Structure 1
Amino acid sequence: MSDAALPPLSIADVQRSVTAELDRIGEVIDPLGSLFSDAGHELALVGGPVRDAMLGRAHTDLDFTTSAHPDETERLLKRWAKATWDMGREFGTIGARKGPWVVEVTTYRSEAYDPSSRKPAVDFGTSLDGDLGRRDFTVNAMAVRLPGRQVEDPYGGVVDLAHRVLRTPGRPEDSFSDDPLRMMRVARFAAQLGFTVDPAVVAAMTAMAERIAIISAERVRDELVKLICAPYPRLGLTLLVETGLADLVLPELPALRLEADEHHRHKDVYEHTLTVLEQSMDLEPRLGLGEPDFISRFAALMHDVGKPRTRRFLDDGSVTFHHHDVVGAKLTRKRMKALRFSNDEIDAVAKLVELHLRFHGYGTGEWTDAAVRRYVRDAGDQLQRLHILTRADCTTRNRRKAERLARTYDALEERIARLSEEEELAAMRPALNGEQIMALLGLEPGPEVGAAYKYLLDLRIDEGVLSEEEASRRLLAWWATR
């Protein structure tokens, strides 16, 4: 998880890997190849499954390309599997499932973007080589013809894969002009595969970065999510920043490259942020999800985006970033809305950004139980992610300081666990519900019920669990003063 790409592979290792993977998936590719061939059509395994086979990665989702048009493809697939679908028919794609295998078969394509359009104009092609030539990278422009398992590599993808480098089959300028989203895909694949990027591709991305403006926010968002959830996100994010693409799709990130103050009294916020992201990835197993967690990773990436707006130099030469947590949460909401994230995703990330400094008020454990309860209440369903972000935010090289912060946060988590066990803290509800409040005070639904509920909730936080009798007595006394 550093700036360095992975070391190269030997061609012999690549060949061994692809042979082993083709044998493993032979029960699918061989009968499908014969099925299409007997009907007079070409069929080839293509794209990611071929690339990953050479990297020794197994798949049960397989992509094919064919000379057959969608109607004929659908007819043939129905002879192989009972479950088929045609949601991608507009793009020439028919899907099918058989046991654990999911296949998608797409008619040879030739597509390009109108210079001012966000959507491709899809035309069916006539040859495998033509189809491969329109693909994004040489490592994705390889195919295995079926049923004979003949590898087709017209653009040198095998060598590029062994060298772990991303190149385009033709001129990168032509590729990015056809589909500007491919510039985002360069960064995403670098992050997913740990590959370097050919200098000509980087130059084209830099020169054509503004072309990304014609791509819909949803498509940009989807690529960004895949990049951030990849094994090596630093590689992809660094590329976006260096080429200027980040200025257009995630400007808050390059804005973190603050010029150093003359006394160097604050750390490099940009590098700190990338380190926090990587450290949050190391802590993800705490969530028990078994997969990358976009919410915690994006919160790590955005947690300090309020610093450029709040940086102040004091007379003594020191630097402050007061309220960068609140400002950062607002900026995060604005950016995620622009990228068309869901409200739930926006709320979760913004909450984490706003709360990421709260722990530092804990000191060496001076918080009262009430303060701990408020910490839990404010974090809500993001508490576990807040634990991760707070821990990841420690990037000091001072080992003693890092160990002290870790011990202090351990102590806070232990107090939360103890209070939770004693009081069912996670529920954090007062002794009386809304119906009970209305019955006791003779109220109809309305703002006064909410005010009464908040009063009881504050009591719950400040004093712990109260009995219904005590809560009723306190509520009546409070109500009498209104």
Structure 2
Amino acid sequence: MDSIFSLLKDISEKEDIKIYLIGGYLRDFLIGRVTKKMTLLIKGNAELIARDFAKKIDINIIEEKNSFKVIDIDRDLKIEFIELEEDINSYLQNRGITIQSLAIDICNFSDDIKEEIIDPTGGLSDIEENKIRIWDGELLEKRPIMIVKAVSLMSDLDFGMDEDTIKIIRNNKKLIANIDSNELGDQVFKILRNRKSYHYFGFMDKELEILEEIFPEVVEMKDVGECKYHVVDSFTHSLYVLKLTENIIYYEGYFEDHIREAYEKHACEEVIGEHTRMELIKLAAFFHDVGKPSARKIDVKGRVRFRGHEITGAEIIKNISQRFGLSIKERDILYRIVEKHMFPLISYKSNDVSSRFLYKMFKETKNETLDILLIALSDIVGTRKLLDPDEEMGKFKIHVEFMANNYITRFKESQDITDIITAADILKEFDLKEEVLVSEILEEIKKAIFKGKISRNKNSIMKYLKNIL
């Protein structure tokens, strides 16, 4: 980045225009973290500076409503140029969160910069104390997103929160209703991106009292859930399941190596933009039982039942997804996880890990199989641990691990057979009419490979087809 700073300094001096570095890059530099996203305030013509800079590094600029961006994918570089129309101190004071309200003249940027930093709200002191602080509660009226932004910064930096800030947020929690839902969703996903999401969800619930404002569905979850198998309400159970899910995800030696590696690759999959499957897994873990309030019934014996809660829950998670502007792909992933999360428990309770059951399950759970198995394991352990803390939990892990192994090593291999045989091969070899549903024949082949009836090679497949066609 040294060359970038040298270039910006030269432009600032040549044009006699102040360029200020602010925000996350400066904050991260001060705490020893590296980032390549940079926000610059230009006390003058921002477009002129942005175009001059972009020309010198041979990159086009992206013009937006109030700023200009230079993005270099190869160098993982993103610089935003914003025109500063007021005094720098006034601008920083209006940012609200102190550690985000720092700036430095680009010409003064060096390895030892603390003396040169512009700090009107005491952000430097808060960085040293690892503390998130909103310095003026009145600013929340203009920028209520700061309420949730403060928590996402806590989770990202592993900071605590100032007691006065906790009171300010509690007193202004109703302002969350004024936040754009997409903007709110972005901050929630930033919390889910980091470890200990369960802790910050709990913090937003107990300390800040804002979780119900973000997710109104939580209110009813707190009122139901206790039954023969659950000794706590649905909300408490779900928060515990989220904790267990994160514990498993981040515990390096929990699963056998090949299963762990499959999970790591799967969880890191980028779904849309900066959202990964990891965040969706965590969100689904928290809302896996969100359908219980609407599914609650009392049978003739007076027992509380929640039959079909996975179906009603899937519809609710779809509504949550739409509310936060998630993509269709993300909605489908969340819907399938919640809708199918009971499959592994059914398998365990019936002691059925037959190839017939597993194949049916994997066909229905699709690409979300590993997600569902992980959440189901956390669900089972979370339920049993509260019922009987001394019960051996390893048996549940072994059961789920067996299913995961079958999915990774057998099912996935059986599904893509285009390198061995195609529909055209079958039509030609057996002189079948084109209207024959070859897709059904291919499905029978895949099923036979999974069940071990035939080998995954063309000769074995052809012999099998001669017997069934």
Distance 1:104 1:186 in 2: 23
For the aligned residue pairs, the C-alpha RMSD in angstroms reads 3.7
Distance 2:394 2:468 in 1: 44
Distance 1:265 1:279 in 2: 16
Q: Match for 1:362: what amino acid?
A: S
> Which residue of the other structure, out of 71, 81, 97, is the alignment partner of 1:137?
97
Ranked by relative contact order (alpha carbons within 8 Å, sequence separation 6 or more), the top structure is 1
> Which residue of the other structure, out of 393, 396, 407, is the alignment partner of 1:405?
396
Note the C-alpha offset of 1:251.
Answer: 2.0
Q: Match for 1:158: what amino acid?
A: L
Distance 1:402 1:129 in 2: 57
Note the C-alpha offset of 1:32.
Answer: 1.6
Change (3 A) 1:263 1:443: closer
> Which residue of the other structure, out of 176, 180, 184, is the alignment partner of 1:212?
176
Do structure 1's residue 323 and structure 2's residue 308 form an aligned pair?
yes
Distance 1:60 1:442 in 2: 59
Q: Match for 2:340: what amino acid?
A: L
Do structure 1's residue 85 and structure 2's residue 45 form an aligned pair?
no
Q: Match for 2:141: what amino acid?
A: S
5+ residue gaps, structure 2, are: 110-115, 251-259, 269-275, 455-459
Distance 1:461 1:252 in 2: 40
Work out whether residues 51 and 61 of structure 2, in 8 Å CA contact, stay in contact via their aligned partners in 1. Answer: no
Note the C-alpha offset of 1:99.
Answer: 7.3
SS at match of 1:281: helix
Note the C-alpha offset of 1:294.
Answer: 1.8
Change (3 A) 1:126 1:261: closer
Work out whether residues 434 and 453 of structure 1, in 8 Å CA contact, stay in contact via their aligned partners in 2. Answer: no
Change (3 A) 1:186 1:317: farther
1:298-333 deviation line (CA, Å, top 9, x unaligned): 221211111222334567775432222222112111
Distance 1:418 1:60 in 2: 39
Q: Match for 1:140: what amino acid?
A: Q
1:192-219 deviation line (CA, Å, top 9, x unaligned): 2233333443444344434333443322
SS at match of 1:152: coil
Deviates more, 1:240-249 or 1:73-82: 240-249
Q: Corresponding residue for 1:119?
A: none
Change (3 A) 1:142 1:459: same
The 5-angstrom pairing of residues 22-421 of structure 1 reads: 25-78=1-54, 80-88=56-64, 90-95=65-70, 97=72, 100=75, 102-109=77-84, 125-149=85-109, 150-169=116-135, 171-172=136-137, 174-242=138-206, 243=208, 245-258=210-223, 266-284=231-249, 286=260, 287-289=263-265, 291=268, 293-312=278-297, 319-363=304-348, 365-393=351-379, 394-395=381-382, 396-397=384-385, 398=389, 400-416=391-407, 419-420=410-411
Distance 2:72 2:212 in 1: 41
5+ residue gaps, structure 1, are: 1-24, 110-124, 476-482
Deviates more, 1:207-216 or 1:463-472: 463-472
Change (3 A) 1:437 1:326: farther
Q: Match for 1:348: what amino acid?
A: I
Change (3 A) 1:348 1:265: closer
Q: Match for 1:280: what amino acid?
A: T
1:11-37 deviation line (CA, Å, top 9, x unaligned): xxxxxxxxxxxxxx5443344224303
Distance 1:388 1:190 in 2: 26
Distance 2:82 2:155 in 1: 29
Deviates more, 1:281-290 or 1:304-313: 281-290
Distance 2:12 2:76 in 1: 18
What's the TM-score once normalised by structure 1's chain length?
0.76
What's the TM-score once normalised by structure 2's chain length?
0.77
Residue identity (%): 15
Aligned residues: 429
Q: Corresponding residue for 1:8?
A: none
Change (3 A) 1:409 1:399: farther
Work out whether residues 50 and 68 of structure 2, in 8 Å CA contact, stay in contact via their aligned partners in 1. Answer: no
Do structure 1's residue 425 and structure 2's residue 390 form an aligned pair?
no
Note the C-alpha offset of 1:353.
Answer: 1.2
Q: Match for 1:338: what amino acid?
A: R
1:80-115 deviation line (CA, Å, top 9, x unaligned): 422141333x21334254973625243354xxxxxx
Q: Match for 2:280: what amino acid?
A: I
Change (3 A) 1:96 1:374: closer
Distance 2:4 2:186 in 1: 30
Distance 1:374 1:273 in 2: 27
Distance 1:136 1:319 in 2: 48
Note the C-alpha offset of 1:225.
Answer: 1.6
Distance 1:98 1:349 in 2: 30
SS at match of 2:40: strand
SS at match of 1:425: helix
Work out whether residues 81 and 96 of structure 1, in 8 Å CA contact, stay in contact via their aligned partners in 2. Answer: no
SS at match of 1:340: coil
Q: Match for 1:344: what amino acid?
A: K
Deviates more, 1:249-258 or 1:376-385: 249-258
Note the C-alpha offset of 1:297.
Answer: 1.5
Work out whether residues 21 and 39 of structure 2, in 8 Å CA contact, stay in contact via their aligned partners in 1. Answer: yes
Work out whether residues 376 and 426 of structure 1, in 8 Å CA contact, stay in contact via their aligned partners in 2. Answer: no
Change (3 A) 1:366 1:191: same
Distance 1:98 1:418 in 2: 35
Change (3 A) 1:168 1:108: farther
Distance 1:261 1:249 in 2: 24
Work out whether residues 46 and 144 of structure 1, in 8 Å CA contact, stay in contact via their aligned partners in 2. Answer: yes
Q: Match for 1:310: what amino acid?
A: A
